[in-house]
């Protein structure tokens, strides 16, 4: 089994990128309007932008979405974030245009070093290039780039970068075939 050197992601000096007041305000507002069944997409986009997210045109944010740090989020045009998706962005997450984050998907930018007694925080940015589809209840781990039009199947876990137009399945996800778009 291949081991990964996690030291490149170690972040002992982590800072959440916003003041305590801003984080507390976001926590309350997102609980009321994003993490809830509140249906108003335009208002959710307004709130995300108000708190620093860079959101393109035509983006859809479904009800019951959890976004930890909008000030660390970039979403391109015409992307879709499904119900119960969780963007746990301790560091930057960049979602390209025409992407789909399906229901219950998890974009996870942080973890802990279980090999250290100090349980150091490990963070890594996530990049989803244009046309990426993250299937329902799939997980993208810290530091992963999903190249253009790659697909992570339902319930799968991306622990390594996904190649462009690749279809990945399993835990850990492995490439099973090429994605053909007509």
pTM above 0.75, yes or no: yes
pLDDT at residue 125, rounded to an integer: 97
Residues 6 or more apart in contact with residue 130 via CB below 8 angstroms: 76, 96, 97, 98, 99, 148, 149
Q: What is the CATH number of domain 19-178?
A: 2.160.10.10
pLDDT at 177 over 60: yes
Contact criterion met (CB below 8 Å) for 178 and 163: no
pLDDT at residue 116, rounded to an integer: 84
pLDDT digits (tens, 9 = 90+) for 45-64: 999 999 999 999 999 999 99
Residue 16's alpha-carbon distances to 7, 23, 31, 67, 144, in angstroms, are 19, 9, 19, 13, 20
pLDDT digits (tens, 9 = 90+) for 103-159: 999 999 999 888 888 888 899 999 999 999 999 999 999 999 999 999 999 999 999
Q: What share of the chain is helix, strand, coil (3-state, %, to 5)?
A: 15, 30, 55
pLDDT digits (tens, 9 = 90+) for 58-115: 999 999 999 999 999 999 999 999 999 999 999 999 999 999 999 999 999 999 888 8
Rounded Cα–Cα distance for residues 142 and 126 (Å): 6
Confidence of residue 8 (pLDDT cuts 50, 70, 90): low
Confidence of residue 13 (pLDDT cuts 50, 70, 90): confident
pLDDT at residue 60, rounded to an integer: 97
CA nearest to 108, candidates 129, 131, 85, 130 = 85
pLDDT at residue 36, rounded to an integer: 85
pLDDT at residue 26, rounded to an integer: 96
Rounded Cα–Cα distance for residues 156 and 140 (Å): 9
CA nearest to 79, candidates 131, 33, 37, 43 = 131
pLDDT digits (tens, 9 = 90+) for 23-43: 999 999 999 988 888 888 999
């Amino acid at each position: 089994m291949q081991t990964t050197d996690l030291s490149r992601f170690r972040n002992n000096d982590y800072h959440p990128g916003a003041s305590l007041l801003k984080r507390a305000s976001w926590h309350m507002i997102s609980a009321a309007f994003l993490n809830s069944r509140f249906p108003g997409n335009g208002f959710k986009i307004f709130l995300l932008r108000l708190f620093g997210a860079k959101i393109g045109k035509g983006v859809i944010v479904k009800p019951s979405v959890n976004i930890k740090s909008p000030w660390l989020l970039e979403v391109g045009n015409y992307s879709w974030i499904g119900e119960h998706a969780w963007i746990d962005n301790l560091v930057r997450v960049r979602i390209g245009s025409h992407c789909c984050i399906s229901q219950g998907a998890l974009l996870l930018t942080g973890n802990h070093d279980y090999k250290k007694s100090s349980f150091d925080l490990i963070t890594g940015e996530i990049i989803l290039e244009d046309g990426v589809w993250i299937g329902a209840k799939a997980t993208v781990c810290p530091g992963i780039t999903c190249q253009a039009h790659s697909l992570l199947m339902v319930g799968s876990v991306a622990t390594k970068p996904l190649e462009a137009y690749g279809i990945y399945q399993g835990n850990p996800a492995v490439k099973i075939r090429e994605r053909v778009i007509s």
